């Protein structure tokens, strides 16, 4: 009921801290304003396994009629991160009750700011979230998957997200005397147009790439030639190699056009999430755990998408995977896409997510091997 947007998850952090401390977990010190890193040490030695849940909400006004609808007007858990947090706390609860059996350590990463690049994953990693971690498990709700089921995808599941700002600076002047000016608006328009040629001519058409300019601001008046133009965009690809090339190609294209028109270019990289590449062996752990709980209930193969997710930053460092937890149920209105003001979930997904994650972590820490 009290969602908080990226980097302001203060009450959420305090709430999580209280619950994990109550379960006897050790909260590790981090130099971050929000987020919790907590550790559950089993009574026997063994590997360290991490689980990540993101905790932030979105600046959206909630339009559901749920009894637990957001009380922070203009802020909503429209991406289901409240479900991820609740699932994480559920797993804490389950595993804390059996710590004498655990052969190893569970590190819980309650991560802030997933929705707001550069994101909370890298600061968490810098604060030791992955220290000695053998495997990391993640989850995300999925309204396109029916409740009771899960989705998995080996390899690249989500895209690299390269958020960039281009600032074109020209020379302002009277609308009637363009020859005495450098028009930042016209130059900006040329850049926007040409960026699409990167997609069609510079990268292998077998690899999907999207370059989207979401904002273009230039000019101040009808009869004044624009001094500056701000071009705000994002580029997406599933390929780590293309992800490395895209900022170079964008810069080359924009700066060449600026040079041709006598304008100056400044390019700022706001974020560069890598593609999210799931480890096939870790996905098999998810599948095995799910099967143990729910028999031969179908596991959906999650389609690839050019969406971004900073869980990818953990997967760059250690093997891991993100499971999609089905929350869809049209009968109760749980069929809206992520970030929709009426987004909601079938809460039975909380049990499925908690049970599956607790099972795969138990398996990784030797609890289930002889049963």
Pairing of the two strands 103-111 and 36-41: antiparallel
Cα separation, 92 vs 343, in Å, equals 26
Q: Is the Cβ of residue 139 or residue 352 nearer to Ni ion in the bound state? A: 139
Q: How far is the CB of 140 from Ni ion (least distance, A)?
A: 6
SS3 category, 88:
helix
* Residue 78 contacts Ni ion per CB under 5 A: no
Interacting positions 126-165 with Ni ion (CB under 5 A): none
Which one-letter DSSP state was computed for residue 76? B
Classified as helix, coil or strand, 8 is: coil
CB 58, min distance to Ni ion, A: 9
Would you say 79 or 203 has its CB closer to Ni ion?
79
- Distance (Å, rounded) from C-alpha 92 to C-alpha 167? 47
Is residue 79 involved in binding Ni ion (CB under 5 A)? yes
Peptide bond preceding 95: is omega within 30 degrees of 0, i.e. cis?
Answer: no
Neighbours of 176 (CB within 10 A): 9
CB of 84 to Ni ion, least distance (A): 8
CA 120 from centroid of its chain's CA atoms:
9
76-84, 103-111, 118-126, 170-178 -> range binding Ni ion (CB under 5 A): 76-84
For Ni ion, the closer CB: 55 or 79: 79
Angle at 166 between CA 198 and CA 78, to 5 degrees: 90
For 206, counting Cβ atoms within 10 Å of its Cβ (0-12 exposed, 13-18 middle, 19+ buried), the class is: exposed
Shortest Å, Cβ 81 to Ni ion: 6
Q: Which residue is nearest to Ni ion (CB)?
A: 79
Contact (CB, 8 A) for 107 and 88 = no
Q: Name the one range near Ni ion by CB under 5 A: 72-80, 117-125, 165-173, 292-300.
A: 72-80
Least Å from the CB of residue 56 to Ni ion: 9
Q: Which CB atom, from 35 or from 170, has the smaller least distance to Ni ion?
A: 35
Least gap, CB of 139 to Ni ion (angstroms): 10
**Part in contact with Ni ion (CB under 5 A); list of ranges 78-86, 97-105, 181-189, 322-330:** 78-86
The residue among 28, 273, 6 whose CA lies nearest residue 127 is 28
If the CB atoms of residues 60 and 79 are measured against Ni ion, the closer one turns out to be 79
- Binding of Ni ion at residue 323 (CB under 5 A)? no
What residue ranges bind Ni ion (CB under 5 A)? 79
């Amino acid at each position: 009921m009290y969602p908080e947007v990226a980097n302001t998850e203060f009450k959420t952090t305090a709430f999580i801290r209280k619950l994990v401390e109550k379960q006897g977990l050790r909260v590790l010190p981090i130099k971050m304003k929000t987020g919790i890193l907590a550790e559950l040490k089993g009574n026997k030695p063994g590997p360290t396994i991490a689980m990540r849940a993101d905790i932030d909400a979105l600046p959206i006004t909630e339009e559901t009629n749920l009894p637990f609808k957001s009380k922070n007007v203009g802020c909503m858990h429209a991406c289901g991160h409240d479900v991820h947090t609740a699932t994480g706390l559920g797993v804490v609860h389950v595993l804390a009750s059996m710590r004498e059996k655990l052969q190893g350590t569970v590190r819980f990463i309650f991560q802030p700011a997933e929705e707001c690049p550069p994101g909370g994953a890298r600061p968490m990693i810098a604060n030791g979230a992955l220290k000695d971690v053998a495997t990391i498990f993640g989850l995300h709700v999925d309204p396109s998957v029916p409740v009771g089921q899960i989705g998995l995808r080996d390899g690249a599941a989500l895209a690299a997200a390269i958020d960039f700002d281009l600032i074109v600076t020209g020379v302002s002047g009277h609308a009637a005397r363009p020859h005495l000016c450098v028009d930042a608006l016209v130059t900006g328009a040329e850049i926007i147009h040409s960026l699409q040629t990167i997609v069609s001519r510079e990268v292998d058409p077998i690899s999907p790439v999207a370059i989207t300019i979401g904002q273009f601001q230039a000019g101040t008046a009808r009869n004044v030639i624009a001094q500056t133009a701000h071009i705000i965009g994002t580029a997406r690809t599933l390929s780590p190699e293309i992800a490395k090339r895209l900022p170079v190609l964008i810069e080359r294209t924009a700066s060449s056009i600026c040079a041709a028109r006598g304008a100056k270019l400044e390019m700022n990289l706001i974020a560069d999430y890598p593609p999210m590449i799931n480890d096939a062996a870790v996905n098999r752990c998810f599948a095995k755990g799910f099967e143990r709980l729910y028999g031969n209930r179908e596991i959906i193969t999650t389609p690839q998408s050019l969406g971004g997710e900073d869980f990818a930053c953990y997967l760059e460092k250690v093997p891991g995977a993100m499971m999609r937890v089905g929350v869809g149920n049209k009968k109760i209105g749980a069929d809206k896409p992520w970030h929709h003001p009426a987004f909601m979930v079938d809460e039975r997904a909380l049990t499925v997510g908690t049970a599956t994650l607790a099972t795969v972590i138990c398996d990784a820490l030797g609890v289930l091997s002889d049963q």
